[in-house]
Amino acid sequence: MPETAFHHTSHRVDIAAPAGVVYGLVADAVRWPLFLTPTVHVEALDLEGADQRLRIWALACDDVTSWVTRRTLDPAARRIDFRQEVPGPSEPGVTGSWVVEELPEGSSRLTLRSALPASATRTTPASWLERAEHDDLLALLADLKHLAERWATLDEQIVAVEETLRVDGPAELAYDFLYRIENWPAQLPRLTRLDLVEETPGIQQVRMDLLADDGRTHTARGVRVCFPHGGRIVYKLVEPPASTVAQAGEWSVEPDASGVTLRGRHQAVLRCPDGPSGTEPRTESGRGAGPEVGRMLGRDSAAVLGLARRYAQSAVRVITPKP
């Protein structure tokens, strides 16, 4: 049986941050959707010590793709080896490694090596693969550099909100409302327009216009991954409103013996006004954005959950015959 040929690449970036910090950001893949531009969602399938199995959804050339990756973590060597699983057991996937080296004066070097099977070009144009790999890896390394160099204030820039609501109605109907996002603009005053593309069932790309409290309209673009059997919808705004540089979250429908709990979890990374990039560490002028963004997230989440409850409970009353 002939050996598989691979296309090898290597990218590296020097980072003004401790090697341990950089390794920690790479190792914590579940938080990548909030921090790394191409990553939409990471689902932990198996976390057994140093060995991990993850399903990752990401944007590549504006298309949403997903795969399962096995990773082996070596904190002592600051190295993570990964191997992409593919549907066919005889077909090799992408393999590679993350390596963090300690440099003088507290800085570090992050190197990402990958090997792409040459056979992949038989079904996918080579130019697309090369462009997607090059552009997305550069964006990934740039994000990690930006995060690591601001690690001391990173937690202060994150706003987290969770809203819950009890529902006396079927979980299926509540989930149906959360899934059918194209119907939201008629019921949410702040959402003035929404365009939905769902070429693959359960993978939704949306572009929407949001009305801010000051009367201005902001356009946001997001990706939603829907899990109907688990009653969950995870999302990421790849182009969030102006007040944040990233936003991700989850809607969930959780039935129990006495009813249903609707839950909305949302996290956002604040956009701070200091510096030309708009994402420099916060000064006194940036601290007020956190409560405001938190209130906005909580208000919008509560409004959506309230509409889902009304939809589920109203439908039950309509189909229940009068005595």
Instruction: State the first-to-last Cα distance of the chain, in angstroms, to the nearest integer.
Output: 73
Q: Provide the 8-state DSSP code for 307.
A: H
Contact 45, 66 (CB under 8 A): no
Q: Checking phi first, is residue 6 left (phi over 0); if not, alpha (psi -120 to 50) or beta?
A: beta
Predicted local confidence at residue 5, as pLDDT: 72
Q: How confident is the model at residue 47 (pLDDT cuts 50, 70, 90)?
A: confident
Q: For the chain, give the mean pLDDT.
A: 84
Q: Whole-angstrom Cα distance, residue 69 to residue 24?
A: 18
**Tokens, residue 215:** 């009367």
Q: Provide the 8-state DSSP code for 5.
A: P
Amino acid at 84: Q
The region of weakest confidence among 120-134, 221-235, 291-305 is 120-134
What is the percent of the chain with per-residue pLDDT over 90, rounded to a whole number? 55
What radius of gyration, in Å, describes the C-alpha atoms of the chain? 22
Residue 125 in this model has a pLDDT that exceeds 60: no
3-state helix vs strand vs coil in the chain, percent to 5: 35, 45, 25
pLDDT tens for 228-260 read 999 999 999 999 887 788 899 999 999 998 899
Q: Whole-angstrom Cα distance, residue 21 to residue 17?
A: 7
pLDDT tens for 60-95 read 777 898 889 999 999 999 999 999 886 544 455 788
- Cβ contacts of residue 42 below 8 Å, gap of 6+? 29, 30, 32, 33, 54, 55, 56, 57
